[in-house]
A and B are shown apart, each in its own frame.
Chain A
Amino acid sequence: MSGMGGALLEARSVTKQFGGLAAVSNFSVSVNPGELVGLIGPNGAGKTTVFNLITGVYDPTVGEIVFDGKVINPLKPYQVTALGMARTFQNTRLFKNLTALENVKIAGNIRSKAGLGAAICRTPRLLENDARLEATALALLEKLRLAHVADLRAGDLAYGLQRRLEIARALATQPKLLLLDEPAAGMNPQEKQELRELIREIRTEFGLTVMLIEHDMKVVMGLCERIYVLDYGQIIAHGTPEQIRSDPKVIAAYLGTETAA
């Protein structure tokens, strides 16, 4: 249990096969409460597959995933989210035709107790419930400096804002663990700097544990306390940013090729 000082998230020898191909094999990670952990690796290393396994999109072929003391292998993504895990997507997956505010409100609905009947009859309890969801959503948008675009279509927002909105939406589910899939992709240096600050800020503010996949070395090295390196579906190294930076296997698999290029 996390309360007893154990890991919040643990993957135990997880393997995922697609047909004959093992996208991820014998993968083990452990993330402690409050940590900020990075998962890096070259293209096609299986990073997003790992996120999909953790969040319940895929079931592991072999192995166990334990979150907050529960084995979550058989759970569907919405059930995993209910347990307190939220994610963003590599290519943003906002509800494009809905407003920024609506996007965040939908995510907040998971913590609402109003039923379908109440929604159809518009009972006082529902109105109260929806007002609370709206207030929470607005506060979140405010916190992520998105209040000025609350009523705009999510699909019309600038790219950087869309990325921030995805984080706001994930936070609305009130997670313990936040998984960020390449949050800095496509951002300019200044936006990346802001993102780093934002991630630190929300971690303290919401008492989050954060795990992020990232391509950008600067972002990962400057932000994460611990890093796992994935190559061909396997963990090839793990340690502090300094250890990773000087690990010959990592340099060969990843950093070496990048500096050469």
Chain B
Amino acid sequence: MARWALTRLAGISATLAILYFISVFVGPRMQEYVLNVVILCGIYVVLAVSLNLINGITGQFSIGHAGFFAVGAYTGAAWSVLWLPRIIDLPFLKLGTFVGDATNLLIALVLGALAAGIAGFVVGLPSLRLRGDYLAIVTLGFGEVIRVLLLNTEAVGGARGMSGIPALVGSFHMELFWVLLLVMLVILVSRNLMRSVRGLTFLAVREDEIAADAMGVNTTKVKVTAFVIGSMFAGAAGVLYAHFFTGISPDAFDMNSSIIITTMVVLGGTGSITGSVVAAILLTALPEFLRFLKDYRMVIFSMTLIIMMLTRPQGIFGHREFSLRGLFRRKERRREGSAPV
């Protein structure tokens, strides 16, 4: 056990160091516009992969993910803008220093994730009784409730939103570090879960709830867990968004963004983690690459989506994951020929 912990610790330190160097050496050499797109891609990857845990893996059709994104963004921003200035005296929280900025962002991330996690728990509860379309309507409603609440809360700026959020993500060229860290974390959590038997019970709930229940799976716990983990990551993504762009307003978290995130999951192949990653990058970057089309940009974008869904309705990856080993194995199996059943 001790050896395992040490190896893990070494692995984590090495990863953090590599991310730090990428961030500090590659980040500043990128054009600001390109960096912005890359950061946005990363944030959407986190959103898509975390929604995939709820929608794709556990099969609870949720289309209110922007709501959790908003809860995280506003909670994090509230920490840095409203609460932080009141306790600024603590030396390690002093903004403008490397440690101060990082500590503040970490606190904001934890608070944002917790707040979104609590929201996820509350929204997850109806999923025990509702399924399919009905659950979709509830989650859609939740997203809208959050948006309207924020719109009418003067303390967080109402319709103007919050501005002047300290740029904690971008200070000391750490933007890539934070975003890639969260991306890696959400992928790692999903992937490790899926590799364990425990994680298979999430798929069982998607496949057949009655059978899962009969096989001893506590479906209630599985569904609420998926909602809580998924929304925590969406919340953390919101914190990064707020502290990267330094301004947020309720309309950044409207139904459109919820639907875009859902589209990413479906397009990637419901349940496939790699699919969500690829689709999130594609759907975030594509509208940027299509800017030369000017007015026709969104038309072409929508057409691309339609064509993709027509030609590959199971999504880019289907239920599968991309792995080199998988490619190798498939070739092997083809050589053997499929065994007669």
The residue in A55, A76, A109 that gathers the most chain B C-beta atoms within 10 A of its C-beta is A109
Stretch at the interface among A37-45, A119-127, A193-201, A230-238: A119-127
Chain A residues 168-183 with CB under 8 Å of chain B are: 169-170, 172-173
Closest CB-CB distance, A258 to chain B, in whole Å? 30
A105 touches B207 (CB 8 A): no
Number of chain B interface residues as a range? 20 to 34
Once bound together, how far apart are the Cα atoms of A115 and B188, in whole Å?
17
Once bound together, how far apart are the Cα atoms of A149 and B341, in whole Å?
7
- 20 CB < 8 A contacts A-B: A78-B213, A78-B214, A78-B218, A95-B207, A97-B203, A98-B207, A102-B200, A106-B203, A107-B216, A109-B217, A116-B225, A120-B189, A121-B8, A122-B192, A123-B1, A124-B1, A129-B197, A148-B339, A149-B341, A157-B341
Once bound together, how far apart are the Cα atoms of A102 and B139, in whole Å?
31
Number of chain A interface residues as a range? 35 or more
B214 touches A77 (CB 8 A): yes
Q: What residues of chain B lie closer than 8 Å to A110, measured between beta carbons?
A: 215-217
CB of A57 closer than 8 Å to a CB of B: yes
A78 touches B217 (CB 8 A): yes
Select B216's contact among A81, A97, A124, A130, beta carbons within 8 Å: A81
CB of A227 closer than 8 Å to a CB of B: no
Using an 8 Å CB-CB cutoff, how does the interface string of B175-199 with A read, 1 for contact, 0 for none? Answer: 0000000000000110011011111
Known: A89-B211, A119-B199, A123-B4. A106 touches B217 (CB 8 A): yes
Known: A98-B204, A119-B192, A124-B4. A112 touches B211 (CB 8 A): no
CB of A202 closer than 8 Å to a CB of B: no
CB of A108 closer than 8 Å to a CB of B: yes
Q: What residues of chain A lie closer than 8 Å to B201, measured between beta carbons?
A: 106, 109
Closest CB-CB distance, A108 to chain B, in whole Å? 7
CB of A93 closer than 8 Å to a CB of B: yes
